[in-house]
């Protein structure tokens, strides 16, 4: 099978990452399918359209609704619109944000991934917030950001409500578009 416009992708593991092993027992940590937080966002490419940078067997980071199961208007469990058949999903390019080949991650077009930074704690009182608001470090950049002088490792400020959270290689990262990176932060010491 060779898709003409999208990618044929299967989940890496299962469609949901909603179990934790505690004392040798697998426990389900969510009670509803409506919660997107536990939907798997990693897939393996099975087939690609022609002239694609993404190749067969690459691991891709996808939109949370690709592998999602939901209840339709009649209350019946239904797979996402991307479901094709036999655990395969036909995914359009705009739902893929990052891919990995040979252990190296590469962003797609206008997307970048930002690692949040810890908030500097004031020792005189207890603070609930652990992360610095609207601040992070470029973890996976792209050529467009580099042309603007923003490189991987740079501390940046980003726009409000642009934090679309992912876990990649054990790191909590925010997926953003280039226009969400609004400034670079330089420190003077």
45-103 pLDDT, tens digit each: 999 998 899 999 999 999 999 998 888 899 898 899 999 999 999 999 999 999 999 98
What's the pLDDT tens digit per position in 107-123? 998 999 999 998 776 66
Question: CA–CA separation, 15 vs 128, rounded Å?
Answer: 33
C-alpha angle with apex 59: 89 to 88, nearest 5 degrees?
A: 15
Question: CA–CA separation, 153 vs 167, rounded Å?
Answer: 18
Q: Are strands 181-184 and 104-107 parallel, antiparallel or unpaired?
A: unpaired
pTM above 0.85, yes or no: no
- Residue range(s) occupied by CATH 2.30.33 in the chain: 109-184
Q: Residue 20's pLDDT is what?
A: 79
CATH topology of domain 109-184: 10 Kd Chaperonin, Protein Cpn10; Chain O (2.30.33)
Q: Residue 122's pLDDT is what?
A: 62
């Amino acid at each position: 099978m060779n898709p003409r416009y999208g990618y044929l992708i299967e989940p890496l593991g299962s469609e949901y990452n909603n179990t934790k092993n505690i004392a040798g027992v697998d426990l389900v940590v969510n009670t509803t399918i409506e919660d997107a937080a536990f939907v798997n966002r990693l897939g393996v490419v099975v087939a690609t359209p022609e002239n694609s940078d993404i190749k067969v067997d690459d691991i891709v980071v996808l939109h949370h609704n690709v592998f999602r199961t939901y209840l339709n208007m009649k209350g019946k469990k239904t797979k996402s619109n991307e479901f094709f058949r036999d655990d395969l999903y036909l995914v359009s390019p705009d739902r893929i944000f990052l891919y990995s080949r040979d252990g190296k991650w590469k962003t797609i077009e206008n997307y970048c991934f930002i690692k949040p930074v810890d908030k500097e704690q004031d020792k005189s009182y207890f603070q609930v917030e652990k992360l610095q608001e609207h601040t992070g470090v470029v973890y996976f950049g792209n050529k467009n950001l580099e042309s603007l002088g923003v490189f991987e490792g740079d501390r940046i400020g980003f726009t409000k409500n642009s934090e679309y959270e992912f876990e990649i290689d054990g790191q909590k990262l925010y997926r953003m578009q280039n226009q969400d990176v609004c400034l670079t932060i330089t420190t003077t010491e």
